[in-house]
C-alpha cells in the first residue's frame, strides 16, 4: 500500500477549515474530489467531524453567563440569610425556654399555695363567672387593697424589666458580628 498525497489536499483542507466547502470551490475542484480517493476521504472524514461537533454543541446547550451570575448571587444570598437566621433561632429557643420555666414556676407556686384551680368544678365556675369578674376587676383596679399598699406595680414592672433584658440580649446576639 502506497501512501501518496494529492496536491489538491491542502486546498481542500483549507476550504474545509474555513467552512467554505463546497460553496466556495470551483467545479474543477469538486470534480477532482469526486475522482480522487484521498481528497474524497478527507472531505468525508472532515464533514463527519463537523457534523459530530455541531451535534455535541447543540446537545450541550451552554448556559449564559448572566444565568451563572444570578445563580451565584442567589447562593450567596441564601448563605447570608442562613448565617443571620442561626442567632435568631438561638434567641427564640432561649425565650421559649424562659417562658416554659416561668409557666412551670407559676403552676408550682399556685399548686403549693393550695389553689383550687386543679379541679374541674373550679374551671367550670370560673369560666361562667369570667365576664362579670373581668368587668368588676377593671372597675376596682385603682381602688383595691393592693393599690392602697403600693405593691400592685411590682409584678408587672418585674415582668417588663425581664422581657426588656431578654429582648436586649436577643437583639445583641442576633446582630453580633463575628
| Average pLDDT for 17-30 | 78
**pLDDT > 90: what percent of the chain?**
6
Per-residue pLDDT tens digits for 132-141: 665 665 555 5
Helix count and strand count (H, E) for the chain? 7, 0
Question: How would residue 74 be classed by pLDDT, with cut points 50, 70 and 90?
Answer: very high
Predicted pLDDT at 1: 44
C-alpha cell at 117: 384551680
Structural domain boundaries of the chain?
A: 9-60, 85-175
What average pLDDT does the chain have? 76
Predicted pLDDT at 94: 84
Q: What is the pTM of this model?
A: 0.34
Nearby residues of 53 by Cβ (< 8 Å), 6 or more positions away:
none
C-alpha cell at 163: 422581657
Amino acid at each position: 500500500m502506497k501512501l501518496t498525497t494529492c496536491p489538491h489536499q491542502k486546498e481542500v483542507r483549507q476550504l474545509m477549515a474555513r467552512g467554505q466547502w463546497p460553496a466556495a470551490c470551483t467545479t474543477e475542484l469538486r470534480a477532482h474530489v469526486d475522482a480522487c480517493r484521498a481528497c474524497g476521504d478527507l472531505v468525508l472524514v472532515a464533514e463527519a467531524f463537523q457534523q459530530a461537533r455541531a451535534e455535541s454543541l447543540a446537545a450541550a446547550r451552554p448556559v449564559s453567563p448572566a444565568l451563572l451570575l444570578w445563580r451565584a448571587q442567589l447562593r450567596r444570598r441564601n448563605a447570608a440569610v442562613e448565617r443571620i437566621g442561626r442567632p435568631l433561632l438561638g434567641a427564640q429557643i432561649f425565650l421559649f425556654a424562659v417562658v416554659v420555666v416561668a409557666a412551670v414556676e407559676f403552676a408550682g407556686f399556685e399548686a403549693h399555695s393550695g389553689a383550687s384551680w386543679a379541679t374541674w368544678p373550679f374551671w367550670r365556675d370560673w369560666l361562667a363567672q369570667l365576664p362579670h369578674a373581668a368587668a368588676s376587676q377593671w372597675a376596682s383596679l385603682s381602688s383595691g387593697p393592693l393599690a392602697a399598699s403600693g405593691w400592685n406595680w411590682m409584678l408587672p414592672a418585674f415582668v417588663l424589666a425581664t422581657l426588656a433584658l431578654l429582648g436586649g440580649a436577643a437583639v445583641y446576639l442576633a446582630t453580633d458580628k463575628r
